[in-house]
Amino acid sequence: MTVPKVYESEYRFCEILWENEPVNSTRLVGLCREKLGWTKATTYTVIRRLAGRGVVKSENAVVTSLVSRDKVQSAEIEELVEKRFGGSLPAFIAAFVRHGSLSAKEAEQIREMIEAYRED
């Protein structure tokens, strides 16, 4: 299944939803006003847009996600690696490491993750 595209402002909305779901739409409007400065109309527009793309559903004034945070993040990373690094994960990791520093603990965690997902 292809994960629908979630744009930046929509992602911020989804973060609120993921933290509070299932959530009544009235409560969601209040959370979006408080955390994003959105109006009621903006919140309902984003709900409709995301529902149309299969990211969320709204039934009986209760909003829930249809796509997990992990899936959205994975799709974003895949798109980034494809667009900016020609699909090369090693090139992406090299660019990331070149412009930051990893602690010994972080390097070990990454090494463990690679080993856990490694295809033999």
What single string gives the DSSP state of each residue in 28-53? HHHHHHHHH---HHHHHHHHHHHHHT
- Enumerate the domain spans of the chain: 8-69, 88-120
Residue of 36, 40, 41, 30 whose CA lies nearest to 10: 36
pLDDT band at 117 (very low <50, low <70, confident <90, very high): confident
Please tell me what DSSP assigns to residue 62.
E
On whether the 8-69 domain is CATH 3.40.470.10, my answer is no
Asked if residues 108 and 119 have their Cβ atoms less than 8 Å apart, the reply is no
> Could you read off the pLDDT of 51-92 as tens digits, one per residue?
999 999 999 999 999 999 999 999 999 999 999 999 998 898
* Range name among 13-17, 47-51, 105-109, 116-120 with the lowest pLDDT average: 116-120
Residue 74: the pLDDT is 93
Residue 54: the pLDDT is 96
Which pTM value belongs to this model?
Answer: 0.80
